[in-house]
Amino acid sequence: CQHANRRIVRIGKDMKVSTLIDRFQGKRFNSPNDLVYKSDGALYFTDPPYGLLKQDEDPAKELKFNGVFRLANGKLQAIIRDLTRPNGIAISPDQKILYVANSDEKHKVWMQYDIANDGTVKNGRVFYDVTGEKEDGLPDGMKLDSQGNLYCSGPGGVWVFSPDGKHLGTIKPPETPANCNWGDDGK
C-alpha cells in the first residue's frame, strides 16, 4: 500500500514497481493503508484518509467515504462503507471472518464481519471496544495466530484476544505500536 501515492502496487522479482490498482469507479483512492489476501487470492484492503493532508476535508479527496475494498478476478468492490477510519485488517484462519480496526479517536473498535460465499461481508459487529481507554494508540495493525487468536496494536500496546473476543492480555513494548508481525521463528 502506497499511502501518499494513493495506490496499491506490485513489486516484481526484478524490483520493478507497477500499479495494481489506484481507483474505484474512476475516483482515486484516499490512501490505501493495510491489506490481506484470502486463500482464494482475493485481496481485501482498507482506505482511510490519512495520506491526505486535510484528511476528510482535503480538496484532493475524491471518494465520499473511507472504505474497505475487495479485489478478486479483476473486479473491485467496496464491501464496507460505514467505518470512519478503517485501518488494520485480517482474516481468520478458517477464512470465514474479516476483522477491521477502526482508528477513530471517538470510536476505537475492532470490527468483525462474516465473509459470505461471494467474498462480500455481512453481519458487521463490534468485536472489541477500547473507546474508553486513555493510553496512547488506536486500533491499528493486527495479525492472527494459527488458532485464531488476534494480536492487535492499540492503546498502550498489543492487545491479545481469543477468537471469541476475550481479552487475554496486553503486550506493552516501550513505545506505542502501530502494527505487529511474526518473526522467522513464528513467534
- pLDDT, tens digit, for every residue of 112-164? 999 999 999 999 999 999 999 999 999 999 999 989 999 999 999 999 999 99
Closest residue by Cα to residue 70 from 39, 114, 35: 35
Q: How far apart are CA 183 and CA 145, in angstroms?
A: 12
Dihedral sign, CA of 132, 137, 140, 146?
negative
Residue 184 has pLDDT above 90, yes or no: no
Summarize pLDDT for 160-178 with one digit per residue, the tens.
999 999 999 999 999 999 9
Cell of 121: 461481508
Cell of 110: 475492532
Summarize pLDDT for 25-84 with one digit per residue, the tens.
999 999 999 999 999 999 999 999 998 999 999 999 999 999 999 999 999 999 999 999
